[in-house]
Structure 1
Amino acid sequence: MIHLYQNNGYNIVLDVNSGAVHVVDQAAYDVIGVLEKQNEFHTPETLREPETAADLKKELGSRYGEEDIEDILEAVITLTEEGRLFTRDVYEDFIDEVKQRKTVVKALCLHIAHDCNLACKYCFAEEGEYHGRRALMSFEVGKKALDFLIANSGKRRNLEVDFFGGEPLMNWQVVKDLVAYGREQEKIHDKHFRFTLTTNGVLLNDEVQEFVNREMDNVVLSLDGRKEVNDKMRPFRNGKGSYDLIVPKFQKLAESRNQQKYYIRGTFTRNNLDFSKDVLHFADLGFEQISIEPVVGEDTDAYAIRREDLPVIFEEYDRLAKIMVDREKEGRGFTFFHFMIDLEGGPCVSKRLSGCGSGTEYLAVTPWGDLYPCHQFVGQEEFLMGNVDDGITKPEIADEFRGCSVYSKESCKKCFARFYCSGGCMANSYKFHHTINDTYEVSCEMERKRVECAIMIKAALADQESAE
């Protein structure tokens, strides 16, 4: 499978199954495009057939000389022999192995607080309540959760725990106590905990910052961008905006972490389809690790993104990608999470095929100890998998999630981005189609554009390095 596209003056050819990326001139771009239309399963043998060259000359002879076409075809044959063009899909052969893997948990999302001090209008957690009641996790429940993680982690040494909410700083003492307990258990069980924290920053202070910098491998800082954008969607319950209080705290924390091991994370909605300005606003505030994600909402929600918004969103991603290239050249570069892509190695096979590991490797824990496949399923009783006292009591739910992959979703099979998004978010699929084995197409369209932009950025920066 080949994906060809043009972006920011670059002609890019992606060989989907191998992940090889080729930046080519217009003639090679056109030749490969004709070959792809002829037969997406070309081999060196089919490429050498006289009819192949004849068809190319018939199709492109008015634009390019016969010798040029022959030279390009020979180069394509060489790349195909090397396994970098027109490669076959070898990953599907591994899908049965992925399905048969045992449930070995490596990460927990601890809902340390089902309560929040903001009233974000798009919050899927209903201001922290998660279809249920407000509650704070006790130390005893959190301790059992860490014990459950250790007991079900098999031979994995590195384990991940995200303190999530609601707002976790509303239960700060329990966060500190659980980190201390985790550090004790590391020595006993030869494990290592990678703790993270997601916070809106309202209760952030010097004491919290000092502890976070000592104990947390990563911190997610929630803010939506420009003051007017943030305060419209992320107010306090009295309607007052949160921007002025939070921004100085986040700037101080980011600097104290040397602009590493954190993300400032926003959500863009239909109210700010010009979200590239919010990304650049973050960069101009001094933040270097940035993420702004599209909201997921019902069509009846005024802020929800609709299919007709996609052309504007695509333009924004293109605009942002070009500006990022320019700023990198000027020495003012920053990281945008959704444009991060590894063209050298990338994730392991199982992650390419089945994604985040929700329901199998990754689970969410409520304040009272219930286990769900991930934080977005919390409160939906059909996905209640068990609890920290009894463990997983409904293994059939884990089996269902384990069977979900890019090969169980029809729309993924012909999608060039499938090995980058790994089939997309299962919670979004369930939200819109009532099955985890489907995709949310609006999100898919945005992901495809992000992948194209990310590859273009890599091409542009490589071009810059070669010019130097």
Structure 2
Amino acid sequence: MNFKAHHKFVHRGKRYVLNIEAMLTSMICDETWWALHAAPSFTFSGLSQEAGRDLQLLDLIASESKDVVESANPTSTPIRNIALFITQNCNLACIYCYGKDGGYGSSGHMNSTTARMAIDWLIKQSGDVKTLGIAFFGGEPLLNFSLMKKVVEYARQRGSEFNKDFEFSITTNGSLLTDEKIAFLNENKINPIVSFDGSKDVQDTQRPFKDGQGSYDVIEPKIRKLLNTFPNATARATLKGATKPKEVTVALNKIGFRSTHMTIASPSLFEVPDKRMGEECGSQSMTTDLDRDAEDLLQSIKSRDVDRLRWLKENSDLVSRLTAFFNKEKKYFGCGAGRAYVGVDNTGGVFLCARFVGKAEYKLGNVFEGQPSRGKYMNSPIRTVEECKNCFARYICGGGCYHENVGASGAVDKPSVSYCRIMRRSVEMVAYVASQLTDGDRKYLSQSGIVRSRSCPFDFPA
């Protein structure tokens, strides 16, 4: 008997199986487990009624021995988002900075001519896309606040001429926030993302000023002021060494952040990488936290604790992945890098994404010359990368982060072992939670807004 592509796993002594293509999951009996394990020599006639029901419910019985991987997204995608490096200077000296002290190999401010060209270039590259995104990046973008104001004004002007709407965000370390700047962000609906690593000890160790002084006491009160205006601003923390994700989340919540995002420090591409840093630091604690978060999520659903569920939605990736699983939304790419999203450096160079700015081998062109060279990044990793083709997590992962891959393995198409470990465990935990939910549980998640319902297939993006 042949079975469709699936993944078996054990959690808390119970056996589970995931139908990879159909995105279905269930707890299964021992007999079903061993039937799947013994394929293709196992015969259907020898199965009990319970095991047969498991296999049919999960749509696992295949007429052929191999699944056909579904087609990926179209090979031509308009660019709709840019990370605009209005400066490649920074006033912090983060110990893990992948941009080499924020300069990305070439420090300095962007000038207004280049900024205007970048906006015009984005409009041209966006085709029929109506809503475009500009993320102010650096370095520390508030070091060039005067240019930021000009960019917003020019983008709005050109947007009205070409029937385009612009959405803005800024990734900042928070050290230069003032009442004037917060008011400007608010007036222009610029969504702030604050890079901040948690407690005073961690922040001061990992994100000191250039002179070596700690930054926590300077930045923390500025963040609190920002949160008075932007209560839903996101904190982006980087894990390094033995830093525990739970402790970081608690510290960020204490300051007032409702939404947090964490990533593991990866090697700088501007130096000889210590691959062990990208591969191991923090990955074990993150997988442990995934197990804990899964139990927390499940219990919160069963007890209808909407406040806790809202907190988990903002602080754990499990909820967004559960949504994708419920709606059978398959990812064919880790993100939009090189396709719908690129990084633009302070001289107008166009790069694979913000993290690759300054690295010539990942330069796709520049804003003065028109079409970027993006062909290499149009093919889905889950169709072309051997490690991804048969991975059970492929449709939730989409192939991972190009920068994480290069930092760990030296190649965009060679996945990071630690990233894969975390993602696979995350998918197992999503499958585990999904297997425990009733129709009533799913209805509650949808009605309470924790998990969004699947979009109507006739709702096309503008």
Name the TM tier (shorter chain).
Answer: 0.7 to 0.9
Aligned to 2:239, which of 250, 268, 287?
A: 268
Q: Supply the distance in 2 between the matched residues of 1:302 and 1:432 (Cα, whole angstroms).
A: 5
**Equivalent of 1:360, from 310, 327, 339?**
339
Name which of 362, 379, 385 aligns with 1:383: 362
Corresponding position of 2:459: none
Q: Is the 8 A contact 2:23 2:328 kept in 1?
A: no
Residue 277 of structure 2: SS of its match in structure 1? coil
Structure 1 residue 152 displacement after superposition: 0.9
Question: Retained in 1: the 8 A contact 2:84–2:344?
Answer: yes
Q: CA deviation at 1:186?
A: 2.1
Partner residue, 1:135: 108
If the length of structure 1 is used for normalisation, what is the TM-score? Answer: 0.81
Q: Which runs of 5+ in 1 are unaligned?
A: 41-45, 57-68
TM-score, normalization: structure 2? Answer: 0.82
Once residues 152 and 409 of structure 2 are traced to their aligned partners in structure 1, the CA distance between those partners, rounded to angstroms, is 38
Q: Distance in 2 between matches of 1:217 and 1:12?
A: 44
Query: Match of 2:128?
Result: 155
Greater alpha carbon shift after TM alignment, 239-248 vs 159-168: 239-248
**Corresponding residue for 1:62?**
none
CA distance in 2, matches of 1:372, 1:403: 17
Find the counterpart in structure 2 of residue 64 from structure 1. none
**Which residue of structure 1 lines up, in the alignment, with residue 89 of structure 2?**
115
Aligned partner (choices 327, 350, 354) of residue 345 of structure 1: 327
Q: 1:65 maps to what in 2?
A: none
Q: Which residue matches 2:168?
A: 195
User: 1:159-184 CA deviation, whole Å, 9 max, x = no partner?
Assistant: 11111111111111211211121122
Shift of 1:406: 1.1
The answer as to 2:25 corresponding to 1:21 is yes
Mean alpha-carbon deviation: is it higher for 186-195 or for 318-327? 318-327
| CA positional deviation for 1:267 | 0.5
Match of 1:4 among 3, 8, 22: 8
Q: Contact conserved, 2:24 with 2:58, CA < 8 A, in 1?
A: no
Distance across 1 between alignment mates of 2:154 and 2:443:
53
Distance 1:183 1:465, change over 3 A: same
Q: Distance in 1 between matches of 2:239 and 2:78?
A: 35
- 1: CA distance, partners of 2:216 / 2:7: 42
Q: Which has the higher contact order (CA 8 A, sep 6+)?
A: 2
| Alpha-carbon distance in structure 2 between the residues aligned to 1:190 and 1:10 | 55
Are residues 168 and 368 of structure 1, via their aligned partners in 2, closer, same or farther at CA, if it must alter by over 3 Å?
Answer: same
Provide structure 2 residue ranges, at least 5 long, that are not aligned to the other structure: 445-462
Match of residue 381, structure 2, among 399, 405, 425:
405
CA separation of 1:75/1:302 partners in 2, compared to 1, >3 Å: closer, same or farther? closer
Q: Structure 2 vs 1, CA of residues 157 and 308 (structure 1 numbering), >3 Å: closer, same or farther?
A: closer
State how far apart, in whole Å, the 1-side matches of 2:341 and 2:156 are. 20
Residues 1:195 and 1:318: Cα distance change in structure 2 (over 3 Å): same
**Aligned residue pair count:** 428
CA contact under 8 A between 1:404 and 1:437: conserved in structure 2? no
- Residue number in structure 2 paired with 1:35: 35
The structure-2 alpha-carbon separation of the partners of 1:175 and 1:12, relative to structure 1 and needing over 3 Å to count, comes to farther
For the Cα contact (< 8 Å) 1:289–1:337, is it kept in 2? no
2: CA distance, partners of 1:332 / 1:253: 24
CA contact (8 A) 2:275 2:409 kept: no
Q: For residues 303 and 354 of structure 1, do their structure 2 counterparts lie closer, same or farther at Cα, with a shift above 3 Å needed? A: closer
Does residue 81 of structure 2 align to residue 77 of structure 1?
Answer: no
Q: Is the 8 A contact 2:114 2:347 kept in 1?
A: yes
Q: Aligned pair in 2 of structure 1 residues 121, 460: CA closer, same or farther (>3 Å)?
A: farther
2:179 to 191, 206, 219: 206
Percent sequence identity is: 27
3-state SS in 1 of match to 2:103: coil
Cα 1:312–1:105 change in 2 (3 A) is: closer
C-alpha distance in 2, partners of 1:308/1:258?
31
Secondary structure (helix, strand or coil) at the match of 1:379 reads coil
Which amino acid counterpart does residue 357 of structure 2 have in structure 1? Answer: V
Question: Which secondary structure does the structure 2 equivalent of 1:225 belong to?
Answer: coil
Aligned residues: CA RMSD: 3.3
